[in-house]
Every structure is written in C-alpha cells, then in structure tokens.
Amino acid sequence: MGKVRTLVIRAPGTNCDAETVFAFQQAGSEVSLVHVNQLIRRRERLDDYQILVIPGGFTYGDDIAAGKVLANELRLKLGEDILRFVEDGKLILGICNGFQVLAKAGFLPEFSEDGSLLLTVTTNDSGRFECRWVHLSVNRESTCVFTRGIDRLYLPVAHAEGKVVVLSGALTEQNVALFYTDEHGDISARYPHNPNGSVGNVAGICDRSGRVFGLMPHPERYIRGTQHPQWTRLGAREYGDGLQIFRNTVDWAEHL
C-alpha cells in the first residue's frame, strides 16, 4: 500500500486538530482534516483511511456533557461505518474530548451497537478545570498497539471532565493502557498526580483488540523537546514523549 492515510475529524469547538495533524505528519502519515458533516453527507469516505482520530477540544460546547453531542452524531449517523472500520482491522484514537466521545458513544471498552455504556468520563473530583503535566505508566499487560515499547510518559492534561468511572467488572487488565502515577511510578498516587480522581488511576483505555484507544492526556502537545515545561533548565531532547504514540500508530497501519 502507499502512504498511511489518517483522518482527523473536527466539529464546532474542536481546538487541538492542528496539533494532532502536525503530530501525525511528523510520524510519517498523510493527514486529512475533515469536518464531521463531510462524513455524514458522504463527501468523505471513512473507508479511504487507515486511522481515524478524534482530537481534543470542547465539541459543541460540551453541552449536556463533555463530548456527548458528537458521540451521539457518530453513533447514530456513522455507527455502522465506524464498526466496519474497526472490523477491517483499522485504528481509532481519541484524545481528551475524543476519549470522552468514544466512551459516551459506547465504542469503549468494546463497541456497543445499542449505545449502552460500560464506562463514562465525568466531572473531576476537584470540581474545576485541571491543567497540569502528569506522569504516566504504560500497562504492560495491555493489548494497546499505540503504547507498544513505551514504559513511562510525561504529558499535559487539560480538562474539567476527565474522571473515568466504570461499571464493576467492565474492564479487564488488557483494557487499561495507561495509569496516572507520581514521579516514582506509583499507580496508586492520589491528587494532584491523578488530576481527576479516575477509578484505579486510569488515564487511557483500549478495546480488546488494542486498536481503539482513548486517553485524557495530550500526546500531541509534547512532540518536540522544547515543549517540555522545563526544557531550558533540563535541556531539550530532540523529540517529546508524545511522538512515539503517533509513530506506533502509523507503523501499525503500514501493515494493513
């Protein structure tokens, strides 16, 4: 096949789309930024791509709940297309608001055709918008293809509704891809290391196949070394921690 094609969708209120496009370009993918209405009206075809991405932001002003309106659009108007996309072995990534959308559409931890939810993402325990850098640990038991070969990450979060709440028994060890930790890697560390109060310090979740992944932290905001908050003190690395997630995604899609 030719160059991997990534589709980044946007809707009113999306605001991390340009950074996400740049990240995938840096990882070697051809990227199209497309309004969700172009998919709904069939002016763009999901089948033409190997990677689907829902970036961060506040789609539709987070009316009702964060990501809920876009979640309903995707499930009711594009649900069959997205299910076929997943069944074809392709990849879906949701970042921050994108994670909220995937959860509230019933696409995580497993695809739900009737829209029933096994988990949701709700208001932070602090009751306020949390904007900080966090330490993350990758779950080595996870099937997640996006985090292959990664052990630790240091990435920013920026959300008011990031608390992952799960029905008892709904997640397996393989579903949990990322944990919030302290600087020593303790996955039981509480606030502010866990910025939202997520159950089990969960920061990212994938489906059973490992090909549908949602996370609250923003890997697209740490692609270059100079994006680290202390780069002038510690020295800038060539690449930021987030870039490897995008490289893993593109590398996997090259073999489809």
Q: pLDDT digit string (tens) for 187-222?
A: 999 999 999 999 999 999 999 999 999 999 999 999
Residue 87: is its pLDDT beyond 80? yes
Write out pLDDT tens, residues 16-74: 999 999 999 999 999 999 999 999 999 999 999 999 999 999 999 999 999 999 999 99
| Mean of per-residue pLDDT scores for the chain | 96
Architecture of domain 5-253: 3-Layer(aba) Sandwich (3.40)
Q: What are the start-end ranges of the E strands in 46-191?
A: 51-54, 91-95, 119-122, 130-138, 152-159, 163-166, 176-181
- Torsional class of 55: left (φ above 0), alpha (ψ -120 to 50), beta (otherwise): beta
Write out pLDDT tens, residues 116-126: 888 999 999 99
pTM value? 0.96
In angstroms, rounded to a whole number, what is the distance separating the alpha carbons of residues 195 and 162? 8
- Predicted pLDDT at 18: 98
pLDDT band with cut points at 50, 70 and 90 for residue 1? low
In angstroms, rounded to a whole number, what is the distance separating the alpha carbons of residues 111 and 95? 18
By annotation, the residues acting in catalysis are: 96, 218, 220
- Predicted pLDDT at 141: 93
What percent of the chain has pLDDT above 70?
100
- Predicted pLDDT at 2: 73
Residue 131: is its pLDDT beyond 80? yes
Are the beta carbons of 20 and 96 closer than 8 angstroms?
no
Domain boundaries, the chain: 5-253
What is the distance, to the nearest Å, from the Cα of residue 93 to the centroid of all Cα atoms in its chain? 5
- Predicted pLDDT at 220: 98
Point out the least confidently predicted range of 29-43, 138-152, 161-175.
161-175
